[in-house]
Amino acid sequence: MKTILTKGKIALLIIFAVLIIDQVLKIWIKTHMFWHESIRITDWFYIYFTENNGMAFGMEIFGKLFLSLFRIVAVFFLGWYIYRSVKNKLKTGYIVCFALIFSGALGNVLDCIFYGEIFTASTNTQIAHFVPFGQGYASWFHGRVVDMFYFPIIETNWPEWLPFVGGNHFIFFSPIFNFADAAISCGIIALLLFYSKYLNDISHLHSKTKDQAK
């Protein structure tokens, strides 16, 4: 019982920490910067305020309502899976990976559900501010996700002799993302690097259990 509580508390601590950091950063950016305003930290790191309607790193696929509902369903199943992982006494690091993914997904879900209802729109000439609930720039599930981290680590032009892209401007790394996206990415990368075999073993164990139940 003690082990279960310890793993559960670790997962909850990570989830709350990621959510608090993510939302504090987003709210500060939203209420202090114009849309597409940029703050240079170094030549390869900028705080660049933008918003997106899509998934991680600004990708936009399908409609906004579909994406919001998809996120909510995914978060629900991730939360359920973490609960089952804690109850089944799976490895702490494995649970931590899923806690990072869950908290990142939930952080972006909060933007989609609530931000349109509680903020005015951010524009190039107007900084957003809080408004009474329901008087914001969009309806439920149609809020935009706040992004701010931009790392143009390499910015150059392709050599002229290259076919198709020769002479074109090139930036690595160009996506703009937020703390929640970073938590999701770290969780997935750690899961693949350190727990691929463990994940495979769990899948085989579940398949074996189902076969025995039949």
Asked about 181 being catalytic, the answer comes back as yes
Within 8 A by CB and 6+ apart from 34, the residues are: 49, 122, 123, 124, 125, 126, 127
Helix, strand or coil, per DSSP, at residue 162: coil
Which residue in 43, 181, 201, 211 is the catalytic one?
181
* Closest among 7, 113, 14 to 64, alpha carbons compared: 113
Element (H, E) at 81: helix 64-87
CA distances from residue 168 to 44, 143, 173 in whole angstroms, order as listed:
19, 34, 16
Rg of the chain in Å (alpha carbons): 20
Which strands, in side-by-side order, build the sheet including 176-177?
38-42, 45-52, 145-150, 176-177
Which residue in 22, 43, 111, 147 is the catalytic one?
147
CA distances from residue 142 to 45, 51, 52, 138, 160 in whole angstroms, order as listed:
29, 12, 11, 6, 43
Asked about 111 being catalytic, the answer comes back as no
Active site residues: 147, 181
